[in-house]
Amino acid sequence: MNAVVTRDARSVVTDALARVRQRAFRAAPADRAPVVLRHSRIYILPTRRGYAVIATLLMMLLTSLNYALSLGLGVTFALSGLVAAALLHTFRNLAGIEVKPLAASDAFVGGNVVFSLAVSAGAIDRHAISIAANNVRAKASVAAASTQTVTLAAPAMKRGRVPLGRVTLSSNHPLGLWRGWAYVHFPLSGIAYPAPEAHPPPLPTGERGIDPHAHGQGDDADLAGLREYQRGDPLQRVAWKAVARGAGWFSKSFEGTGGGGPLALDWARMPRELEAEARLSRLCAWILAAERTTRPFALTIPGTRLATGSGREHRRTALTALALMP
């Protein structure tokens, strides 16, 4: 009985500490858009310059009291009022700001995942607001009753999901004596695809059993004509000259099978000596090569099987499967 009570007490204490930590530091991505900064989220402390000014004022106060300098006391109290007014302006510069997540981009390992946030000023102008997340920082000054889009480019160091992380909004406006800051934490993340292999081997054999790698040639042999553009058609097949002339949107139609038909990209058929990340890099390079030549492809990797398809969405689905493979 005592052991059960002890465990329950520990659980209560742990939950209480977790709630306090979340409320104070926003450690988990539990915020829902949009978030408006109120007094309960804003923290203020002196900057180094502020500490130096406060220490100087204390020295002036002690000196004036010791030597009974009424003019010194007057100057000290006047400067103290200025420091206190700066604190209120720093708080006012942050209070009422609305922050909303917009989007997160995709990138390959070695590139940058770009996160977009919307910062709305509200009723007053906002000056020198610093927005930081993922060791990346941006500055924004937003006019009253307006909204500004802020982008943060976080480096993609490894494949998988790249979370935005906790966002810190801070400001030391107007005099740099006080630093006010607030935390928001949105469940926003981008995708980092595996880096494509620099010099991959030719594309594997197509599903029809014909060698698909024709030197410098695409999958289709002869141009048959133009047809009406349909949503999902590869951009490589769009008749851009017709679009530029204002004739409308058309896609090129081909005849023949100069390259061997759809591709079958299979994890199990790759060389056994390749490590997992090297296989992912090669598959990534093959997917990009298949899109450049407008060839449909199927993908089979552990835990995922994609049917034959083509187009931008199919490519994105395949690359996402590579990025999120355990």
- Per residue in 225-255, pLDDT tens? 666 766 656 666 677 777 777 777 777 665 4
Mean pLDDT, residues 281-310:
91
64 has pLDDT over 50: yes
Which percentage of the chain shows pLDDT scores above 90?
A: 64
Q: How far apart are CA 141 and CA 126, in angstroms?
A: 5
Q: Counting every residue, how long is the chain?
A: 326
Residue type, 82: L
State the sign of the Cα–Cα–Cα–Cα dihedral 7, 12, 17, 23: positive
271-295 pLDDT, tens digit each: 889 999 999 999 999 999 888 888 8
pTM over 0.85: no
pLDDT band of 205, cuts 50, 70, 90: low
**What pLDDT score was predicted for residue 221?**
42
Mean pLDDT, residues 50-73:
96
What is the distance, to the nearest Å, from the Cα of residue 128 to the centroid of all Cα atoms in its chain? 22
Q: How far apart are CA 87 and CA 77, in angstroms?
A: 15
Residue type, 276: A
Q: How far apart are CA 321 and CA 304, in angstroms?
A: 7
HEC assignment per residue over the chain: CHHHHHHHHHHHHHHHHHHHHHHHHCCCCCCCCCEECCCCCCEEEECHHHHHHHHHHHHHHHHHHHHCCHHHHHHHHHHHHHHHHHHHHHHHHHCCCEEEEEEECEEECCCEEEEEEEEECCCCCEEEEEEEECCEEEEEEECCCCEEEEEEEEECCCCEEEECCEEEEEECCCCCCEEEEEEEECCCEEEEECCCCCCCCCCCCECCCCCCCCCCCCCCCEEEEEEECCCCCCHHHECHHHHHHCCCCEEEEEECCCCCCCEEEEHHHCCCCCCHHHHHHHHHHHHHHHHHCCCCEEEEECCEEEEEECCHHHHHHHHHHHHHCC
pLDDT band of 125, cuts 50, 70, 90: very high
161 token code pair = 């999901």
Q: Please work out, in degrees rounded to the nearest 5, the angle formed at the alpha carbon of residue 228 by the alpha carbons of 223 and 229.
A: 95
Q: How far apart are CA 182 and CA 43, in angstroms?
A: 6
148 beta partners = 119
Contact 187, 54 (CB under 8 A): no
Q: How far apart are CA 229 and CA 276, in angstroms?
A: 39
Give the pairing type, strands 126-133 and 136-142.
antiparallel
212 has pLDDT over 90: no
